[in-house]
């Protein structure tokens, strides 16, 4: 039987925060609060909170449904309506959840939206997803914030001005109409300062993996660390307190020379350090993680944990330039980076975190991540002479998680890393 790990203070804080949000959502009829459906990459949680509205993230509901083994049934319900097997499984899970009463992962009622806020950041599926939601909830207000793609790898003044214009003329007026409140810039600035504080802590948390042994797993545990900034708490004092407490715990692990905490306790020995590209599989999340920690493999950095913001490249929300800051944030999330930018970021991680190898988890139904991954992998292999591996799964469709296939590929990859380490050690001169 798997050992139950004692929950640290930060874990309890996060559980309380998320539980409180779903409880608030379940009681909006009594509170009168308005609900905004939006997405994680490029989300405007600080602006939503400035109007005292509550955010709902359909992809968060989908991944949590996957972890609770409910997504398979939801997906089949959506496919009966004609949604193709090749459609993003987050979308199908969301549709299936609606068809089954729109009960969320916590078994609480997810209220219908008062505003559909489409913050478009590089994933075309988001647009089609919101077309589907618009049909499901006819008559609901819709606001779109179109984010220019970083085609040349840089943000221009014209791109920023284009986004600020949309915020002023499209997004904020719709939020005022739905909430019945006027835009309060002072409140937004306060929220943005909380965001900047939380982002400072978050960067320190992920960069702690540069230590040996790494005190954290930057992929499997990392998805829990990004929870508060991705589920609507960015811009709140609660998020800042969570990250402050988490950093205290991690610094203590570094002081004691401890490795990361896994679902079965502390990892005792760090054998290999990897950088991973692509989202994890959610339907078999713990089983997937176990393939790594059983063999002492630590993910020291990953691209997926930057899907809601690449803060370690220097971006921070700036309360002195609120709308410009929101615009820059949307343009700097990982899914809005071009392929050369993604390769450069992964290369930086491999070098700075002293990774032994690079692994791609290619997601069948997620073109936003999977497009170009083979090219990225080969480029990194040639540029850095780093061992590379490739596995395939899906987000929340259990039909596309093959334990034996993934395990065989990982075992072969880890054996290659072991042989390489032996060869490198033989070449190292004795002092």
Last residue of a domain, one of 167, 184, 201: 184
239: left (phi over 0), alpha (psi -120 to 50) or beta: alpha
| 104 shares its domain with 213 | no
Q: Please tell me the distance from the alpha carbon of residue 10 to that of residue 15, in angstroms, as a whole number.
A: 9
The range of the structural domain enclosing residue 212 comes to 189-427
| 98 shares its domain with 151 | yes
Residue 9 lies in a domain: no
How many CB atoms within 10 Å of residue 390?
Answer: 16
pTM beyond 0.85: the answer is yes
Q: Please tell me the distance from the alpha carbon of residue 423 to that of residue 175, in angstroms, as a whole number.
A: 61
| 288 shares its domain with 172 | no
| 245 shares its domain with 138 | no
Residue 357 lies in a domain: yes
Q: What is the CATH number of the domain that holds 274?
A: 3.40.50.11900
| 291 shares its domain with 390 | yes
| 324 shares its domain with 397 | yes
User: Strand pairing of 115-120 and 141-146?
Assistant: parallel
The total number of residues shown for the chain amounts to 431
| 404 shares its domain with 267 | yes
| 95 shares its domain with 130 | yes
Q: Please report the sign of the dihedral spanned by the C-alpha atoms of residue 131, residue 228, residue 211, residue 408.
A: negative
Residue 17 lies in a domain: no
Q: Nearest CA to 352 among 301, 413, 296, 414?
A: 301
Phi, psi dihedrals of residue 295, rounded to the nearest 5°: -105, 15
Question: How confident is the model at residue 7, as a pLDDT?
Answer: 60
Residue 290 lies in a domain: yes
Q: Which residues are paired to 254 by β-bridges?
A: none
How many CB atoms within 10 Å of residue 138?
Answer: 6
In contact, 341 and 169? CB cutoff 8 Å: no
Domains in the chain, number: 2
| 172 shares its domain with 194 | no
In contact, 38 and 48? CB cutoff 8 Å: yes
Last residue of a domain, one of 146, 164, 184: 184
| 209 shares its domain with 259 | yes
Residue 16 lies in a domain: no
| 326 shares its domain with 339 | yes
Q: Please tell me the distance from the alpha carbon of residue 222 to that of residue 10, in angstroms, as a whole number.
A: 13
Q: Please tell me the distance from the alpha carbon of residue 368 to that of residue 176, in angstroms, as a whole number.
A: 32
| 277 shares its domain with 372 | yes
Question: How confident is the model at residue 220, as a pLDDT?
Answer: 96
Residue 170 lies in a domain: yes
In contact, 274 and 289? CB cutoff 8 Å: no
Tens-digit pLDDT string for the chain (431 aa): 445 545 667 878 888 888 888 889 989 999 999 999 999 988 999 999 999 999 999 999 999 999 999 999 999 999 998 888 888 999 999 999 999 898 877 778 899 999 999 988 878 788 888 888 999 999 999 999 999 988 788 999 999 999 999 999 999 999 999 999 999 999 999 999 999 999 999 999 999 999 999 999 999 999 999 999 888 899 999 999 999 999 999 999 999 999 999 999 999 899 999 999 999 999 999 999 999 999 999 999 999 999 999 999 999 999 999 999 999 999 999 989 999 999 999 999 999 999 999 999 999 888 888 889 999 999 999 999 999 999 999 999 999 999 999 999 999 999 999 998 888 777 766 55
Helices (H), 71-226: 71-80, 89-99, 124-136, 157-166, 172-179, 185-207, 222-225
Residue 6 lies in a domain: no
Q: What is the CATH number of the domain that holds 57?
A: 3.40.50.11890
Question: Which residue bears the tokens 């309360």?
Answer: 319
């Amino acid at each position: 039987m798997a050992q139950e790990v004692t929950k640290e203070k930060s874990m309890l804080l996060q559980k309380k925060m998320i539980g409180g949000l779903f409880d608030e959502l379940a009681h909006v009829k009594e509170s009168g609060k308005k609900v905004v459906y939006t997405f994680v990459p490029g989300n405007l949680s600080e602006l939503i909170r400035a109007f005292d509205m509550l955010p709902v993230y359909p992809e968060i509901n989908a991944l949590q449904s996957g972890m609770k083994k409910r997504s398979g049934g939801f997906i089949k319900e959506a496919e009966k309506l004609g949604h193709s097997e090749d459609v993003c499984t987050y979308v199908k899970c969301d549709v299936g959840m609606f068809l089954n009463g729109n009960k969320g992962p916590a078994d609480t009622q997810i209220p219908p939206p008062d505003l559909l806020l489409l913050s478009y950041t590089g994933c075309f599926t988001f647009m089609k997803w919101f077309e589907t939601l618009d049909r499901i909830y006819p008559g609901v207000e819709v606001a779109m914030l179109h984010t220019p793609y970083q085609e040349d790898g840089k943000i221009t003044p014209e791109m920023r001005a284009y986004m600020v214009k949309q915020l002023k003329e499209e997004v904020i007026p719709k939020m005022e109409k739905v909430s019945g409140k006027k835009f309060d810039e002072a409140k937004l600035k306060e929220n943005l300062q909380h965001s900047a504080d939380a982002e400072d802590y978050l960067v320190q948390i992920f960069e702690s993996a540069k230590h040996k042994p790494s005190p954290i797993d930057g992929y499997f545990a990392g998805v829990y660390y990004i929870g508060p900034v991705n589920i609507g708490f960015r811009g709140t004092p609660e998020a800042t307190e969570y990250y402050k407490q988490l950093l205290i715990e991690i610094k203590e692990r570094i002081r004691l020379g401890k490795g990361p905490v896994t679902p079965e306790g502390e990892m005792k020995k760090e054998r290999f350090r990897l950088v991973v590209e692509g989202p994890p599989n959610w339907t078999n999340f713990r089983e997937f993680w176990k393939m790594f920690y059983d063999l002492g493999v630590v993910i020291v950095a990953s691209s997926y944990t930057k899907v809601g913001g690449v803060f370690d490249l220097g971006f921070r929300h700036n309360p002195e330039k609120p709308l410009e800051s929101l615009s820059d944030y949307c343009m700097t999330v990982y899914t809005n980076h071009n392929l050369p930018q993604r390769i450069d970021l992964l290369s930086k991680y491999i070098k700075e975190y002293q990774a032994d190898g690079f692994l791609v988890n290619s997601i069948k139904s997620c073109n936003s991540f999977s497009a170009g991954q083979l090219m990225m992998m080969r480029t990194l292999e040639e540029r850095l002479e780093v061992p590379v591996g490739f596995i395939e799964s899906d987000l929340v469709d259990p039909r596309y998680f093959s334990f034996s296939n993934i395990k065989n590929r990982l075992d072969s990859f880890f054996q290659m890393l072991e042989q390489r380490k032996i060869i490198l050690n033989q070449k190292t001169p004795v002092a």
